[in-house]
Amino acid sequence: MAAEGWIWRWGWGRRCLGRPGLPGPGPGPTTPLFLLLLLGPVVADITDGNSEHLKREHSLIKPYQGVGSSSMPLWDFQGSTILTSQYVRLTPDERSKEGSIWNHQPCFLKDWEMHVHFKVHGTGKKNLHGDGIALWYTRDRLVPGPVFGSKDNFHGLAIFLDTYPNDETTERVFPYISVMVNNGSLSYDHSKDGRWTELAGCTADFRNRDHDTFLAVRYSRGRLTVMTDLEDKNEWKNCIDITGVRLPTGYYFGASAGTGDLSDNHDIISMKLFQLMVEHTPDEENIDWTKIEPSVNFLKSPKVTQREREAET
């Protein structure tokens, strides 16, 4: 392979508008050491971005046809969520608001990539705003709760775009993006900003930017990758890259946000889901993917881990 090709496959790469496919990144900036030891040289195939890979039934694209409509029920929303011609506002810049939007169709793709165009903004000064956005791929939908406007003890995947540090002892720099996989046994601890259940994370300065901000989530063959484009450079920047993640098919995509004593506008402009064209072995194809339990293979049993953490406190 030529040097240029090697760099392209393993570098960050450009973010082409409307084009899925993330070059295979390295471990995220704050990925724990044990993840670095487990990450092998996994080549991430880049999809060609043809329109047939965009799954419109799982995508939220302007004009927002099908949102809350009985004729095209592709997306449902609840709580404080309002729909405009330019964005879906999950919460306004007001206290004690919760809102969410959820795809009506379960996703049965084994390999996928979600591009999210979002905006978090408000009048609050530094550390006087909150709380953030959560992106979901979960078994249950439209269930309000305390985790950024959605339910706790969920089954599936969550990506938290957290803007407020509740833990005064934290060494993290906020805003902060983190990932959590749950089989229903774990509770998200807001007082610790989810530190006990975080798989990996990174600092990401996405609030009050005067340009477009994007996040991409890819799941393929057990590898979960999160990348950002926050600098108006049309480039993906690595945030999270972990292997050993097991997610079932048949779950739902969604986004939610919540405010408390502090607030922000939390807007979703688009969510575009792309199918990744990946070959699986015969053994993998024979698995009933709808029966897979959400898990990460290098972690202890979540129930054991939770008891140990409770014993520590």
Provide the token pair at 275.
């199918």
- pLDDT digit string (tens) for 77-90? 999 999 998 999 99
- pLDDT digit string (tens) for 87-113? 999 999 999 999 999 999 999 999 999
- pLDDT value of position 43: 37
- pLDDT value of position 11: 34
First to last CA, the chain: 52
Provide the token pair at 48.
């060609």
State the chain's mean pLDDT as an integer: 82
User: What is the pairing mode between strands 82-83 and 98-103?
Assistant: unpaired
- pLDDT value of position 72: 54
- pLDDT value of position 16: 52
Rounded to whole angstroms, the Cα distance separating 110 from 133 reads 25
Rounded to whole angstroms, the Cα distance separating 273 from 108 reads 12
SS (H, E, C) the chain: CCHHHHHHHHCCCECCCCCCCCCCCCCCCCCCHHHHHHCCCCCCCCCCCCHHHECHHHCECCCCCCECCCCCCCEEEEECCEECCCCEEEECCCCCCEEEEEECCCECCCCEEEEEEEEEECCCCCCCCCCEEEEEEECCCCCCCCECCECCCCEEEEEEEECCCCCCCCCCCCCEEEEEEEECCCCCCHHHCCHHHCCEEEECCCECCCCCEEEEEEEECCEEEEEEECCCCCECEEEEEECCEECCCCEEEEEEEECCCCCCEEEEEEEEEEECCCCCCHHHHCCCHHHCCCEECCCCCHHHHHHHHHHHC
- pLDDT digit string (tens) for 141-176? 999 999 999 999 999 999 999 998 888 778 888 999
- Shortest CA distance to 144 belongs to which of 46, 216, 214, 76? 76
* Residue 20 confidence class, pLDDT cut points 50, 70, 90: low
- pLDDT digit string (tens) for 235-280? 999 999 999 999 999 999 999 999 999 999 999 999 999 999 999 9
Rounded to whole angstroms, the Cα distance separating 285 from 221 reads 12
One-letter identity of residue 293: E
Give me the domains of the chain, ranges plus CATH numbers.
54-287 (2.60.120.200)
One-letter identity of residue 276: L
Are the C-beta atoms of residues 81 and 88 closer than 8 Å to each other?
A: yes
More reliable by pLDDT, 34 or 62? 62
Are the C-beta atoms of residues 295 and 224 closer than 8 Å to each other?
A: no
Cα 233 to Cα 114, 140, 213, 228, distances in angstroms: 20, 36, 10, 11
More reliable by pLDDT, 31 or 309? 309
Q: Say whether pLDDT at 6 is over 60.
A: no
Q: What is the pTM of this model?
A: 0.82
Are the C-beta atoms of residues 27 and 241 closer than 8 Å to each other?
A: yes
